[in-house]
Amino acid sequence: LSRKVEMTNWEKGNFINYKKMSENLAIVRARLNRPLTYAEKILYSHLDDPHGQEIERGKSYLKLRPDRVACQDATAQMAILQFMSAGLPKVATPTTVHCDHLIEAQVGGAKDLARAEEINKEVYDFLSTACAKYDIGFWKPGSGIIHQIILENYAFPGGLLIGTDSHTPNAGGLGMCAIGVGGADAVDVMANLPWELKAPKIIGVKLTGQLSGWTSPKDIILKVAGILTVKGGTGAIVEYHGPGVDNLSSTGMGTICNMGAEIGATTSVFPFNDRMYDYLAATKRKDIGDFARTYAKELREDQGAEYDELIELDLSTLEPHINGPFTPDLATPISKFKDAVEENGWPAELKVGLIGSCTNSSYEDMSRSASIARDALNHGIKAKSVYTVTPGSEQIRATIERDGQLQTFEEFGGIVLANACGPCIGQWDRRDVKKGEPNSIISSYNRNFTGRNDANPATHAFVTSPDLVTAMTIAGDLRFNPLTDKLKDKDGNEFMLAPPTGAGLPERGYDPGRDTYQAPPADRASVQVQVSPSSDRLQVLSPFKPWDGKDAKGIPILIKCKGKTTTDHISMAGPWLKYRGHLDNISNNMLIGATNAENDQANSVKNFITGEYDAVPATARDYKARNIPWVVIGDWNYGEGSSREHAALEPRHLGGLAIITRSFARIHETNLKKQGMLPLVFENPADYDKINPDDKVDLFITDLAVGKPMRIRFHPKNGSPWETNLIHTFNEGQIEWFKNGSALNTMAKAQRS
């Protein structure tokens, strides 16, 4: 176990540390004295303090030391800007950045890529120079989708990865525990802070039997999503096991783990097996496969490991599934789908079929779809619907170009898009239907929420395997079932499509294609990070000011929010995503979606100085300009939704001091602390009702101490002042964050001393 094996072929000196992992595990084992699941083994072997860490599934907060960090280009911008503001010379944990989210699908691969390079030039220039400066591997636009690149180059069995994208769990296809996080978490790990995760519960999925015919790995997760629903995996890791596992390809397992994000799971993982070994060998990492074999005992569950919940699936009887529309957990087996389409009045005509994305763009996926397309071509027919293909990586694209699948798709009428997210993230200049026109599309992607792909709320988006997407585009009709229904060939003779076939791995090995990787240079000191001062998309961050050590007296309530205030209400997405790297510009969306309790309106609050109603951000800016800090009053579960760090950065940037609520969503609460804000909760939730939006507030910040309440006094306009208690969850370290102005300031201070 003390051999030296590099984590990846792209870096030198970052070794896989199975020795340390097994030592940590031995310590935890001696303490827990029970069989462990595989997911637990990965997590516990990465504990910051295996001796002292409290471990209870579903309860404790684990402090972990991930092996790697991965960021996509949309989320990397703010993460790196924040990292820069700490003033550290390089990342402490191996990190990569992947340019995949900003390429709009319009006409096809090469042209769309060239257009994106022009439109996003300043973002790409910033990312590439910042990566060079801070020792981060940079995957250029056109290299492929983050999760595919990670699987091909960086994932390894037993490893722990965090990624600033929800579908990071894809790397579970190589036995890695890979978890999607917000930018703030990534920054912590880049800056050498341990990363905190609530010890997940473990849901076991036992697979028996074997897939055949039209059923593919995607159908496993489509079925599981139907069983667990979009909430069923929350706070849990889904751990697959059982004899059925060994017949799945590594990339197929990746598909299953990838879409586990749709059931809210922390991540999903498969045990190390020979299929993973084969994939490692095929992607030039046989040494990692051999090394993993020496540690194999710890790369699977212990005998007798107990799951918090257990699901059993027999793959031999599993039918192909189609999930949707509008939600990924509405699962319908193909045999019932025609009836479902008719009963629900879903538009039966299939307008567009889309294959690829990070979920389903392996060599196997492409080969199987190409076999179906070829079958149709052999009968003289092509796709009736529009058909698009997004290869997951340049390597996949080059390999299917060499091996002929790509030509088959084109002959079939397909449009091969850039190696990027494209329509999956709404980067799709769709022109075949008008906005508001009801229509159906089907994809091999993972998410199908309203408007996600084409911003048309009337589009019924379904997700399924690439096999069914391809078959359905031939019929051009959602009611088509390739297992039972006939098609007509060019002469009008009936025929049935043969079930798809395709190799899991390319016989002749992968063709790497164009070189799209930029390694950090040896001389990083002379690299200048490029941020144009006139840019409206990027802005260098200055560190936030430390606390002045005083209580706050007579400060205003910017807004008293009523009801649901999610991170979308606090920092809206959509068109604002463009400004993710520009804190001042994106702050113009702060809380514009929240409902003002005073007038039941969104984005209209009274400025206590001018007496005028104005937008929330404009009012906050006015207070900031006058040096008046402010607070927000929030309802239950404030900040639920995503881990978006902008929702915490914006109020801090616009001069907010405290967010006072009936309760918080935990991730947002932590994000606020990281940015040097005070997330506080009414000791008595009924106090919320007693507050008038135009009350003035005294906040006794000097009370701040672990486990102690903080006093607050309200001064109503008409009435006598009253005082109450706020509680909080600050620990010692987090109090330092507040005092220093932010977690990053605290890191930078530690580094300097």
- Residues in the site for ligand F3S, rule: CB under 6 A? 100, 145-147, 165, 167, 357-358, 421, 424-425, 445-446
Q: Which is nearer to ligand F3S, 189 or 358 (CB)?
A: 358
Quote helix, strand, coil % in the chain, to nearest 5: 35, 20, 45
Distance in angstroms between the alpha carbons of the first and the last residue of the chain: 36
Among left, alpha and beta (phi > 0; psi -120 to 50; other), residue 60 is beta
d(C-alpha 665, C-alpha 643), whole Å: 10
216 part of the active site: no
Q: Are 706 and 735 in contact (CB under 8 A)?
A: yes
- How many CB atoms neighbour CB 90 within 10 A? 13
Q: Are 22 and 295 in contact (CB under 8 A)?
A: yes
Q: Are 307 and 37 in contact (CB under 8 A)?
A: yes
Q: Closest Cα to residue 160, out of 42, 55, 248?
A: 42
Q: Which is nearer to ligand F3S, 424 or 472 (CB)?
A: 424
Q: Which is nearer to ligand F3S, 165 or 301 (CB)?
A: 165
Report the amino acid identity of residue 222.
Answer: L
From the CB of 64, what's the least distance to ligand F3S, in Å?
23
**Full strand arrangement of the beta sheet holding 439-443:** 331-333, 321-323, 459-463, 439-443, 350-356, 386-390, 414-416
The strand pair at 710-715 and 696-699 is best described as antiparallel
From the CB of 147, what's the least distance to ligand F3S, in Å?
6
From the CB of 10, what's the least distance to ligand F3S, in Å?
20
Q: Closest Cα to residue 259, out of 170, 180, 320, 174?
A: 170
From the CB of 107, what's the least distance to ligand F3S, in Å?
19
From the CB of 452, what's the least distance to ligand F3S, in Å?
9
Q: Which is nearer to ligand F3S, 45 or 96 (CB)?
A: 96
Q: Where are the beta strands (DSSP E) in 99-142?
A: 137-139
- How many CB atoms neighbour CB 592 within 10 A? 17
d(C-alpha 353, C-alpha 685), whole Å: 50
447 part of the active site: yes
Q: Which is nearer to ligand F3S, 180 or 289 (CB)?
A: 180
* DSSP letters for 285-354: -HHHHHHHHHTGGGSSPPTT---SEEEEEEGGGPPPEEE-SSSTT-EEEHHHHHHHHHHHT---BEEEEE
Q: Nearest-5° angle of CA 70, CA 66, CA 744?
A: 75
Q: Which is nearer to ligand F3S, 424 or 529 (CB)?
A: 424
644 part of the active site: yes
From the CB of 280, what's the least distance to ligand F3S, in Å?
22
From the CB of 219, what's the least distance to ligand F3S, in Å?
18
From the CB of 358, what's the least distance to ligand F3S, in Å?
3
689 part of the active site: no
Sign of CA dihedral 128, 288, 164, 746: negative
Q: Closest Cα to residue 460, out of 568, 330, 319, 369?
A: 330
Is 690 exposed, middle or buried (CB count within 10 Å of its CB: 0-12, 13-18, 19+)?
A: middle
Q: Which is nearer to ligand F3S, 445 or 462 (CB)?
A: 445
Q: Are 648 and 671 in contact (CB under 8 A)?
A: yes
Given the residues 46, 101, 537, 582, select the one marked as catalytic.
101
Given the residues 68, 147, 644, 653, select the one marked as catalytic.
644
d(C-alpha 17, C-alpha 453), whole Å: 41
* Three-class SS state of 246: helix
Given the residues 368, 397, 447, 452, select the one marked as catalytic.
447
Given the residues 67, 73, 112, 165, select the one marked as catalytic.
165
From the CB of 57, what's the least distance to ligand F3S, in Å?
28
From the CB of 428, what's the least distance to ligand F3S, in Å?
11
Q: Nearest-5° angle of CA 99, CA 105, CA 110?
A: 75
d(C-alpha 613, C-alpha 602), whole Å: 12
Q: Which is nearer to ligand F3S, 361 or 734 (CB)?
A: 361
d(C-alpha 612, C-alpha 126), whole Å: 40
31 part of the active site: no
d(C-alpha 239, C-alpha 170), whole Å: 13
Q: Which is nearer to ligand F3S, 135 or 454 (CB)?
A: 454
Q: Which is nearer to ligand F3S, 357 or 642 (CB)?
A: 357
Given the residues 67, 73, 100, 635, select the one marked as catalytic.
100
Cα 631 off chain centre by: 30
Q: Which is nearer to ligand F3S, 393 or 745 (CB)?
A: 393
Q: Which is nearer to ligand F3S, 165 or 364 (CB)?
A: 165
Q: Closest Cα to residue 581, out of 529, 539, 542, 544?
A: 539
From the CB of 77, what's the least distance to ligand F3S, in Å?
16
Given the residues 440, 444, 642, 742, select the one marked as catalytic.
642
Q: Closest Cα to residue 513, out of 397, 428, 598?
A: 397
From the CB of 486, what's the least distance to ligand F3S, in Å?
34
379 part of the active site: no
List residues with catalytic annotation.
Answer: 100-101, 165, 447, 642, 644
